[in-house]
Amino acid sequence: MTAYLMGRLLQAVPVLIGVSVLVFLILHLTPGNPAIVIAGPDAPPEIVRDIERSLGLDQPLYVQYAKYVSRLVRGDLGRSIQAHDAVLDHLTATFPVTLALASVGVVWTVLVSVPMGILAAYRRNSALDLTTIFAVLAGNAMPVFASGLILLYIFAIHLRWFPLTGYRSLATLDGWRHIALPAITVGTGVVPLLTRLTRSSMLEVLNQDYVRSARAKGLREAAVIVRHGFRNALLPVITVIGLQFGLLLSGAFITESIFSLPGMGRLIVTAIQARDFPVVQGGVLLFSLTFVAISILVDMAYAAADPRIRYG
């Protein structure tokens, strides 16, 4: 397992280098001089020069990249142009909110879709099975912001079951009331997908000989479904949960904007509108690192669930 982990971590290196180049380029792909974009078109030349110097724009590109990476490695992400404080502080303040949103989102998504998928497979062509087919079609065509606005309208404005906007610590009940609608929102697109996937994965497994053997030797039906069926159907489900976690994280951009959550998504969007490049770069970098970390975790879970991968 350790060897597998090391190999997997090594594979992530080129991706990380690529991510750092892309994030570095965010500042340099800007049409025109980023210093003028930041300072405004009418800014006096000395201010523009100051900004150029503070961003390191007066040096050759490869020097800038080398310096950028060496600062990254030391955990220095630069300073915000708007607020003049360390980008890292902005990220540490907002990251927990986005992580909480995505985690609660994933948990409810899995708790709903996996049992529904198993049931739909077990009772093929039942009303539940057909409902999930239509839910998938609708879910694929429904943008996250649409489901968010609909949930907001029904449950916060109309029924008043949940607060409109804002974020509280999850240590309190009030915090859970605040995170409920946003978390449901980020998961709405994923539930139908995961349900269908669990269903088709289960169907494949339920037709295997070992399931028939399990029944033949007189096991209870629940044991057949869960121990012999679901455990083998788990692999593709794990992959998709991992992939969807990435999707959930990017859904944070929209959800945080609807529910005014002080997370990374909102931080990045606000920074883009203010052309605060260091914050944009830091935010995109942390987002990408999270994705890479999750994909490694998913592969680990995969290897843990299936010995064939570990020793393959």
Partner 1 sequence: MATAREDDILIAAPALQVVQDGARRAGSYRATLARRLGKSWQIRIGATIVSLLVLTAALAPRLAVTDPTLPDVMHRYQGPSGAHPFGTDNLGRDIFSQVVYGSRISLTIGLISVGVAASVGVALGVLAGFYRRLDDPIMRVIDVLLAFPGLLLAIAIVGALGPSLQNAMIAVGISTIPGFVRIVRSAVFRVRANEYLDAARAVGVRDSRILLRYILPNISSEIIVTATLGIAGAILVAAALSFIGLGAQPPTPEWGAMANLAKDYLDIAPHQAFFPIAAIFVTILGFNFLGDGLRDALDPRLYR
Contact residues: partner 1, CB under 8 A:
14-15, 18-19, 22-23, 25-31, 37, 137-138, 140-146, 149-150, 152-153, 157, 246-247, 249-251, 253-254, 257-258, 265, 268-269, 271-273, 275, 277, 280, 284, 287-288, 291-292, 295
Minimum distance of partner 1 from residue 272's CB (angstroms): 5
If the CB atoms of residues 122 and 155 are measured against partner 1, the closer one turns out to be 155
Closest separation in Å from C-beta 269 to partner 1 = 5
Q: What distance in Å separates the CA atoms of residue 158 and residue 163, rounded to the nearest whole number?
A: 11
Q: What is the SS3 string spanning 79-97?
A: ECCCCCCEHHHHHHHHHHH
Report the candidate in 194, 206, 238, 197 with the shortest Cα–Cα distance to residue 123: 206
Counts for the chain of helices (H) and strands (E), in that order? 15, 0
Q: Whose Cβ is closer to partner 1: residue 68's or residue 287's? A: 287
Pick 143 or 307: Cβ nearer partner 1: 143
Q: How far lies 226's CA from each of 112, 119, 221, 243, in Å?
A: 16, 11, 9, 24
- How many residues in total does the chain contain? 312
CB of 307 to partner 1, least distance (A): 27
User: Cβ 164 to partner 1, closest distance in Å?
Assistant: 9
The number of beta carbons lying within 10 Å of the beta carbon of residue 179 is 23
Supply the minimum distance, in Å, between the C-beta of residue 46 and partner 1: 24
Q: Are 263 and 254 in contact (CB under 8 A)?
A: no
C-beta of 128 vs 247, nearer to partner 1: 247
With respect to partner 1, which residue has the nearer C-beta, 88 or 292? Answer: 292
Q: Which is nearer to partner 1, 138 or 309 (CB)?
A: 138
Query: Smallest gap, in angstroms, from Cβ of residue 174 to partner 1?
Result: 22
Q: What is the DSSP string of 108-140?
A: HHHHHHHHHHHHHHHTTTSHHHHHHHHHHHHHH
Tell me the sheet residues that pair with 86. Answer: 79
Q: What is the DSSP letter of 208?
A: S
